[in-house]
Structure 1
């Protein structure tokens, strides 16, 4: 992975974790700035392969603990999605939408 790609991913994680106060937005597990990298995931609500420029924007990310991240990934795998974990519901938790995320992601290339 290129250094630029690593920086983009790190900036995405930092922005998502900070916005979410280092807390899983589904179950409320609280981490810290020092431990978030190991205890939380910055989940792409809409798959990064379906977004312009990879969707590495806070409008497309949500902080989830490992257990909740696994549940959110069900949508991307095509499995039944547990209640509360559908993309529209996750966007609602962060006051965003797929449209906002696409627009923000499109601006990454500017």
Structure 2
């Protein structure tokens, strides 16, 4: 992986975690982390798969902070096309105050 790609991914992760105040944003989840532990304890999940957005979708408008258990539930949609309750892309975008359209616009600006 190039240094530039690592930088883009790191900025994405840091922005998503900071916006979430280092907590899991999964429905009903109360998991909290800290700036020091977030990289090990949380995932900056791409709400819309990064292959479906321009420039990989590495923008906060396409990210949500999830603990390991919630990340598995969110990934279920990417692997099956069926969302578990509370984990559809539309529901996750609502949690972070975004939408696929906002994520696409922001992703285009990365290029």
Both structures adopt the same fold (TM-score exceeding 0.5)? yes
Per-residue deviation, 1:82: 1.3
TM-score by length of 2: 0.96
- After TM superposition, the runs of 4+ consecutive aligned structure 1 residues lying more than 2 A away are none
Per-residue deviation, 1:73: 0.3
Deviation per CA, 1:41-73, whole angstroms, max 9, x where unpaired?
000000000000000000000000000000000
2:53 aligned partner: 51
Q: CA RMSD in A?
A: 0.8
Q: 70-79 vs 86-95, which deviates more?
A: 70-79
Per-residue deviation, 1:28: 2.3
Per-residue deviation, 1:79: 5.3
- In 1, Cα distance between equivalents of 2:81 and 2:12: 26
TM-score by length of 1: 0.97
- In 1, Cα distance between equivalents of 2:92 and 2:21: 16
Question: Which of 83, 97, 100 is matched with 2:99 structurally?
Answer: 97
- In 2, Cα distance between equivalents of 1:102 and 1:32: 29
Q: How does 1:1-110 map onto structure 2 within 5 Å? A: 1-26=1-26, 27-78=29-80, 80-109=82-111
Deviation per CA, 1:3-45, whole angstroms, max 9, x where unpaired?
1100000000000000000000011210000000000000000
Q: Which runs of 5+ in 2 are unaligned?
A: none
**Count of equivalent residues:** 109
- In 2, Cα distance between equivalents of 1:17 and 1:30: 11
